[in-house]
């Protein structure tokens, strides 16, 4: 875990400060790059140290100053979160934005009910988000400003036969983020739920069918626009919003027959 003082060519106060949890690859890495190039100081949090260090080194070289800082952490180590959150915000000199992007989707066959696989998805996709975003909620509520972003999935809109617990973890994340939004909006805090469709990451390995696939960089650019505009719920790309609207309103007896 990095503990060196942060430095750069410009004063820290001139840059917004962000934490990206789940930053070592995929959307998390792309969003870290996007924010750094948009002028943020970014604490990049992830489990895989080598990938994380490489990401931050590449960003800092490209930007020409220290703007991305690695912090090694497994999101299922919940007890570490409060102290690590305080360490990061102290070293950044504050916090304006946190994005929880960490997520796993394990392969599950249609006749498989595997608690170990299911528990991992709940622990990473939902409990890790709660552990980190609760800390941000406390800080932002006291400060009267701040932005919380949770990267969920269109998969959380309905219970599909192929991935019951992955769907449940994302549905739980959606509801948690909505509740945070309802609590914190009156205190000047923005909470954004991001619902991507298919993004070209390792999670696609367990998707039986894909279409409208976009790159992590395209997803990150759209997420940044949602952050800039302080949106509440955003489908990425936007056309998935129409798909989600249709899916959410299909009657259950029909949805069961579709086998999706």
**DSSP secondary structure letter of residue 133:** H
Contact 44, 20 (CB under 8 A): yes
Whether 3 is covered by a domain: the verdict is no
Q: CA 243 to CA 75: how far, in whole Å?
A: 31
Point out the catalytic residue in the list 40, 113, 145, 166.
166
How many domains is the chain partitioned into structurally? 1
Whether 127 is covered by a domain: the verdict is yes
pLDDT band of 7, cuts 50, 70, 90? very low
Tell me the CA distances in angstroms from 95 to 22, 35, 60, 145, 209, one per residue in order: 17, 13, 20, 10, 39
Lowest mean pLDDT among 65-74, 96-105, 245-254: 245-254
Please write the tens of the pLDDT for every residue from 211-232: 688 999 999 999 999 999 999 9
Q: Is 93 exposed, middle or buried (0-12, 13-18, 19+ CB in 10 A)?
A: middle
Nearest to 177 by CA among 247, 119, 233, 248: 233
Q: Is 176 a catalytic residue?
A: no
Contact 50, 60 (CB under 8 A): no
Percentage with pLDDT > 70 across the chain:
92
Backbone angles phi, psi at 149, to 5 degrees: -125, 130
**Lookup result for tokens 């949770």:** 150
Q: What is the model's pLDDT at position 206? A: 65
Percentage with pLDDT > 90 across the chain:
75
For the segment 93-106, the average pLDDT, to the nearest whole number, is 96
Whether 7 is covered by a domain: the verdict is no
- Residue 21 pLDDT > 50: yes
Print the domain residue range for 68.
12-258
Average pLDDT over the chain, rounded to an integer: 91
Whether 238 is covered by a domain: the verdict is yes
Whether 5 is covered by a domain: the verdict is no
Whether 212 is covered by a domain: the verdict is yes
- Residue 2 pLDDT > 60: no
Q: Is the Cα dihedral 64, 67, 71, 74 positive or negative?
A: negative
**Encoded tokens for 259:** 């086998």
Q: CA 39 to CA 35: how far, in whole Å?
A: 6
- Residue 39 pLDDT > 60: yes
**Encoded tokens for 189:** 């805090």
Q: CA 167 to CA 195: how far, in whole Å?
A: 12
For 63-107, the DSSP string reads HTS--EEEEE--TT-GGGHHHHHHHHHHHHTS-SEEEE-------
pLDDT band of 205, cuts 50, 70, 90? low
Q: What is the model's pLDDT at position 207? A: 63
Whether 162 is covered by a domain: the verdict is yes
- What CATH number should be reported for the domain holding residue 109? 3.40.50.720
Report the residue count for the chain.
Answer: 260
Whether 51 is covered by a domain: the verdict is yes
């Amino acid at each position: 875990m990095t503990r060196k003082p942060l430095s750069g060519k410009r004063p820290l106060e001139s840059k917004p400060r962000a934490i990206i949890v789940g930053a070592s690859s995929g959307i998390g890495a792309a969003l870290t790059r996007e924010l750094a190039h948009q002028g943020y100081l970014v604490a990049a949090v992830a489990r895989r140290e080598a990938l994380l260090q490489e990401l931050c080194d590449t960003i800092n070289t490209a930007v020409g100053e220290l703007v991305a800082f690695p912090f090694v952490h497994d999101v299922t180590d919940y007890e570490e979160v409060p102290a690590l959150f305080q360490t990061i915000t102290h070293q950044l000199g504050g916090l304006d934005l946190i994005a929880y992007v960490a997520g796993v989707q394990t392969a599950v066959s249609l006749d498989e009910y595997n608690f170990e696989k299911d528990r991992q998805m709940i622990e990473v996709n939902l409990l890790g988000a709660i552990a980190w975003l609760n800390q941000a909620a406390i800080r932002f509520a006291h400060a009267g400003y701040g932005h919380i972003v949770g990267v969920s999935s269109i998969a959380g809109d309905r219970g599909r036969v192929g991935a019951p617990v992955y769907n449940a973890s994302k549905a739980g994340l959606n509801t948690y983020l909505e509740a945070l939004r309802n609590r914190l909006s009156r205190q000047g805090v923005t909470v954004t739920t991001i619902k991507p469709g298919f993004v070209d990451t390792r999670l696609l390995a367990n998707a039986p069918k894909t279409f409208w696939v976009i790159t992590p960089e395209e997803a990150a650019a759209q997420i940044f626009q949602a952050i800039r505009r302080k949106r509440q719920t955003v489908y990425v790309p936007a056309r998935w919003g129409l798909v989600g609207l249709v899916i959410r309103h299909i009657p259950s007896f029909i949805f069961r027959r579709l086998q999706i």
